[in-house]
Structure 1
Amino acid sequence: MDARRFRARWPAVAAAALVCCLGLLSACSASSATREKEDSTTQAAVPKALGAVDDLQDGYLKVIKDVLPSVVQIQGRRDLGSGVVYDDQGHIVTNAHVVGDEKTFRVTTANSENELTAELVSSYPQQDLAVIKLDDPPDGLKAARFGDSGKVEVGQIVLAMGSPLGLSSSVTQGIVSATGRTVTEGSDDGGTGATIANMVQTSAAINPGNSGGALVNLDSEVIGVPTLAAVDPDVGDSAAPGIGFAIPASTVQKIADQIIEDGRVTDSGRAALGITGRTVVNDEFQAAGVAVVEVQSGGAADKAGMKPGDIITRLGDTDITTITSLSEALAGEQPGDRTTVTFTRDGNEQKADVTLGEQ
């Protein structure tokens, strides 16, 4: 809320309370001392409330001063997005869909108009994360501080920082609307098609160009990387206002640390059946399961005796109708978990106990 509007309203509220007291004077048996006490209480609340607004505004300003220098704009040949400075060596974490298939980039920091050059270290589309590295990190490069996304709570105030629509160093404000969301990206609009678990949902505006930036709490900690906004298919797949999603900081750190240390992801933590599949439809042209096209040798499905041509209809207690629903079901599992796969083979329903592998 605008602090100036807030200040303008409070005197009007106090005056209204005073008029009310005067209007009831003839019908009220309270003493003048009581009325004076009520008036003084109302007046005392005014500076207290204004002080709270000032404190909140000061908190916003401090967070922006602390974190915005660590949020950069990333420009490829075609796409533009945001990134977060990960360390003082020049590593920057961003979304895989921001880097796409490109290997070199131009980077602009928040406090400079000078373009820096950077190269791709590695991209991990399965989690829509990537790391690039500045060729010549400037002096004073400030790494962001990442928080514990396990402590994120619904209702927390958050700020989203990035370059929406190319407007670098922009900040929007909202709250954490939900945690633990499993979301599947589109693949026909520049997304990777990844299914990502444990995402943070926020009401802070997430627009094209915000991808790869920072979702920040009031302790100046990055708690997530804004990645996508929901779309409303009823209005032509346009963005649904106030529904955005960020990859949690714990996932960002796990993936980025592996890329920086090993040059690739060696431990994804993502469960897998070890198949290539496709959605199949029934006689009414409704999605009815996932047909196994290929079985990875030595993978979870192979060890369970599954074969190409099997049609998966259930994983554990979850009905499977599409390849997306299978990905979302697997996102809630861990490598090594045991579950049951229900499938049809030659028209007959069968079940197999499976120990999930790793993607």
Structure 2
Amino acid sequence: MSQPTAPSSVRGWLPLIAGATVIGLASGVLGAVAYKELGDQPGSCDPQRLAVKVQPSLVTVTATGNASPVGNGVIVQADGVILTNAHQLGAGTPSSLSVQLPSGEQLTAKLVGTDPVSDLAVLKVDRVQLPALPLAWGEVVKVGQPVVALGSPLNQRSTLTSGLISAVNQNVAAAKTGGGVTILQDSLQLDTPISDPLTGGALVSCDGQLIGLSTAVPIPPKADTASWSRDLGYAIPATIARRVSQELLANGTATHPWTGLSVAQVSADIAVRHDGQPGLFIQTAATGSPATTAGLMAGDLITSLDGQTATSASYSRLLLTAKVGDQVSVAYLRDGQAHQATITLTEQPTP
């Protein structure tokens, strides 16, 4: 079983952009006109402008027959494909599902599939030409990057909070509906908590790109605390959401290529200790995982993956494009000595 990394923090970054706020927004055509008037001006992270842009793609999900009847969803394809968090639908299969558009229209939704491992669910409504907010493709998410999280729990009103990306590529232990723990791979960590009204909603960059789905699942307590914590916010990155949703749409199930590693982009001080060598620092390596079987361990510095420079972006792309059973060649440094290894990816085990 993979051990989750200790939550990390970034000191010295800009303060929190804004506290959580609720903004009443016009929907449909009025929203589009308002957005045109505000303009998509580059170089500025204006939460109100982003809310006007994103709000037409946010829906309220209602599920009957379970303990969590209401949550957020994001329209990611104009033909009616909607993503939400799996845990919002409860432990069992809901007897019925519906979504409410920002216009107030209520639509019956079909559950295409759920993936508790990534905490994703795909819904489908019988409608075309919906205002979709596609998952970002190839956008590199960086530590310190300002972001805005938005949801639509109050139907025609948009709830948002804004902050900074404080870490990427995090393996996070999260409580599962009905009991137990799952490991959310390659998660984005925010410097502000994600509250229930935002879970299943959109995490967007300053230019309005959908870079992840917010999730407010509780984090297990540390040894010195008694309660489950939500002091940090997390999001499922668009790369993972894209792969999992496409697999669910294609065959109703999803696979999860696993290395067993938790990695971090090399910081300046670590690079100095390795003669300025860039790469990925291995924070943790799960016992018995593909990585440790190949000889890697915590403290190693990965310099390349399949011949490409090892970065947070290349590692995310690996998890996105690789399949269970694929072999990945890895070059790494240990105590200044260069080594080579081959990792054979396996399915992520159930905790």
Distance 2:179 2:56 in 1: 27
CA shift at 1:240, angstroms?
3.9
Distance 2:196 2:155 in 1: 8
1:152 to 141, 156, 159: 141
Distance 1:129 1:59 in 2: 28
Distance 1:206 1:191 in 2: 21
Tell me the residue number matched to 2:268: none
CA shift at 1:190, angstroms?
5.1
2:243 to 254, 259, 266: 254
Structure 1 residues 227, 240: closer, same or farther in 2, change over 3 A?
Answer: closer
Of the two, which has the highest radius of gyration?
1
Q: Which has the higher contact order (CA 8 A, sep 6+)?
A: 2
Q: Contact conserved, 2:326 with 2:344, CA < 8 A, in 1?
A: yes
Structure 1 residues 355, 201: closer, same or farther in 2, change over 3 A?
Answer: closer
3-state SS of 1:151 partner: coil
Tell me whether 1:226 sits opposite 2:214 in the alignment.
Answer: yes
The aligned amino acid for 1:201 is: Q
Runs of 5+ consecutive residues of structure 2 not aligned to the other structure: 1-16, 19-40, 261-285, 299-318, 330-341
Aligned pair count? 242
1:59 to 33, 37, 46: 46
The aligned amino acid for 2:130 is: L
CA shift at 1:236, angstroms?
3.8
Tell me the residue number matched to 2:204: 216
2:184 to 176, 192, 196: 196
Tell me the residue number matched to 2:311: none
Structure 1 residues 255, 230: closer, same or farther in 2, change over 3 A?
Answer: same
RMSD: 3.9
The aligned amino acid for 1:194 is: T
Distance 1:55 1:210 in 2: 25
The aligned amino acid for 2:117 is: Q
Structure 1 residues 237, 315: closer, same or farther in 2, change over 3 A?
Answer: farther
1:168-202: CA deviation from partner (whole Å, max 9, x where unpaired): 62111111111111112123x55773212211001
Q: Contact conserved, 1:149 with 1:249, CA < 8 A, in 2?
A: no
Tell me whether 1:129 sits opposite 2:147 in the alignment.
Answer: no
**TM-score under structure 2 normalisation?**
0.58
1:265-310: CA deviation from partner (whole Å, max 9, x where unpaired): 3x533469xxxxxxxxxxxxxxxx99x9xxxxxxx99xxxxxxxxx
Tell me the residue number matched to 1:171: 160
Tell me whether 1:112 sits opposite 2:103 in the alignment.
Answer: yes
CA shift at 1:163, angstroms?
4.5
Distance 1:168 1:106 in 2: 18
Runs of 5+ consecutive residues of structure 1 not aligned to the other structure: 3-53, 273-288, 293-299, 302-312, 320-330, 340-352
**TM-score under structure 1 normalisation?**
0.57
Structure 1 residues 180, 167: closer, same or farther in 2, change over 3 A?
Answer: farther
1:129-187: CA deviation from partner (whole Å, max 9, x where unpaired): 110111x32x7521103224651111111111125699962111111111111112123
The aligned amino acid for 1:210 is: L
The aligned amino acid for 1:99 is: L
CA shift at 1:337, angstroms?
4.4
Q: Contact conserved, 1:97 with 1:191, CA < 8 A, in 2?
A: no
